[in-house]
């Protein structure tokens, strides 16, 4: 029997959602940055948020309005007896960055509660809890950030007609696959970005997008880089969202000219990712993307290279009672 704990701390990684052609159905985890959540036993039932670092004082301390608080409370409901926790959140993923910050907070909270009370929840059960937090952030419980942050790797999200929680399929990741990422220091609100999307799309565009989505899956399974390259095309979200991101067209052009297989918005932006065959190629691509961004926008941006992370959220500290 596992010894009872007084507190547990979990870390959950940032993510790239949509991955160009897979709006709401593809996501991948990256190695950095990450959010951390610590939960400690409390005498009062429910969730009390005692502190948030790294948010500039912008996130709510009220548990029912905070994605980590809502997700933690959903996990606590899996216990028959009323329990309470004190929660602290350390933001490593920038707010409104397009790198899945709200999902990372929600996932880390659920994983920490699961460990603290030795719940042994399945990944599907933890995802269901995390998605309740995502609903607070985006108004819609999309899993393309939460699922890769929890499961790690490159995932496919699919939902059956009568399924309340999406089905998550881990896709193979070719050795060396890496992302170059640049993020101009502007913010894009996820709910507002979803509001830009059209209510309907032309059949021709839909058929092409379905082909790209299937092609990317096939390319990953067969390690066919040319198929991956030709599939990383977004005809649905990118055209109506890219104007909110400074220098997007110049950055994408620079990435493709430097050897990236594809380049698009990470989630709703403003982060822009370029998928590359190796970290070496990604480093060159990242430098060219940075130059293009700096030329039109200035020095206020982040840029980094990350391999696709095979690991999702994890416990980094447990303190016994």
Cβ(88)–Cβ(51) under 8 Å?
A: yes
Q: d(Cα 272, Cα 251) in Å, to the nearest integer?
A: 8
Active site residue 190: yes
Q: Which of 9, 15, 38, 190 is catalytic?
A: 190
Written as six digits, the tokens of 298 are 């200035």
Q: d(Cα 152, Cα 14) in Å, to the nearest integer?
A: 10
Q: Which of 9, 38, 90, 134 is catalytic?
A: 134
Q: d(Cα 77, Cα 314) in Å, to the nearest integer?
A: 21
Reported as type and span, the H/E element at residue 50 is: strand 46-53
Cβ(87)–Cβ(109) under 8 Å?
A: yes
Active site residue 80: no
Written as six digits, the tokens of 10 are 């979990």
Cβ(8)–Cβ(22) under 8 Å?
A: no
Let me know how long the chain is. 321
H-assigned helices in 159-234: 190-195, 203-222, 225-231
Cβ(91)–Cβ(54) under 8 Å?
A: yes
Give the residue numbers annotated as catalytic, written as ranges: 134, 190
């Amino acid at each position: 029997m596992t010894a009872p704990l007084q507190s547990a701390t979990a870390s959950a990684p940032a993510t790239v959602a949509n991955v160009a052609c897979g709006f709401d159905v593809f996501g991948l985890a990256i190695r950095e940055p990450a959010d951390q959540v610590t939960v400690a036993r409390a005498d009062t039932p429910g969730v009390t948020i005692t502190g948030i670092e790294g948010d500039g004082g912008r996130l709510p301390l009220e548990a029912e309005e905070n994605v980590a608080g809502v997700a933690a409370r959903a996990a606590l409901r899996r216990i028959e007896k009323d329990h309470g926790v004190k929660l602290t959140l350390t933001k490593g993923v920038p707010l409104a960055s397009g790198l899945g910050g709200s999902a990372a907070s929600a996932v880390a909270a659920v994983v920490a509660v699961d460990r603290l009370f030795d719940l042994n929840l399945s990944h599907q059960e933890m995802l269901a809890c995390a998605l309740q937090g995502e609903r607070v952030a985006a108004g819609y419980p999309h899993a393309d950030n939460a699922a890769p942050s929890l499961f790690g790797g490159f995932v496919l999200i699919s939902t059956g007609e009568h399924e309340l929680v999406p089905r998550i399929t881990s896709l193979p990741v070719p050795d060396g696959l890496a992302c170059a990422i640049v993020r101009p220091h502007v913010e894009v609100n996820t709910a507002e970005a979803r509001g830009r999307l059209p209510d309907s799309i032309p059949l021709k565009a839909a058929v092409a997008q379905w082909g790209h989505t299937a092609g990317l899956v096939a390319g990953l399974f067969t390690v066919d880089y040319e198929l991956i390259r030709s599939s990383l095309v977004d005809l649905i979200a990118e055209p109506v969202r890219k104007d909110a991101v400074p220098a997007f067209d110049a950055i994408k052009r620079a990435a493709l000219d430097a050897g990236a297989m594809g380049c698009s918005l990470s989630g709703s932006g403003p982060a822009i990712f370029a998928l590359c065959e190796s970290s070496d190629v990604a480093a060159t691509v990242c430098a060219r993307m940075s130059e293009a961004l700096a030329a039109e926008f200035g020095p206020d941006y982040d840029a980094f290279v990350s391999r696709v992370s095979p690991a999702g959220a994890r416990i980094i500290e447990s303190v016994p009672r």
